[in-house]
Amino acid sequence: MAVAKDRLPELIYLEHYKGNYQLFIDAVYAVFERDFITHKATFGSHQLKMKYHPAFQERAYTFYLSVRIR
């Protein structure tokens, strides 16, 4: 199943935050929180669930499993 490009968030780069990792990860988490916690994402007719506990650095555990550094 393809996802329309207009439904994807803008790419977020560390350079946008002048190398400030804390500001960068806060921005990335804000998108994650909006799309997966606040709006309860679905795949077809299935609601996507995530693991929140144990929270890590006051963020959902699943967030750190999904973040990849290139």
pLDDT > 70? residue 9? yes
- Condensed to tens digits (0 to 9), the pLDDT of residues 10-53 reads 899 999 999 999 999 999 999 999 988 888 888 889 888 877 77
pTM: 0.74
Half-sphere exposure of residue 28: CA atoms within 13 angstroms, side-chain side: 21
State phi, psi for 54 to the nearest 5 degrees.
-80, 130
Is residue 33 packed enough to be buried (19+ CB in 10 Å), middle (13-18) or exposed (0-12)?
middle
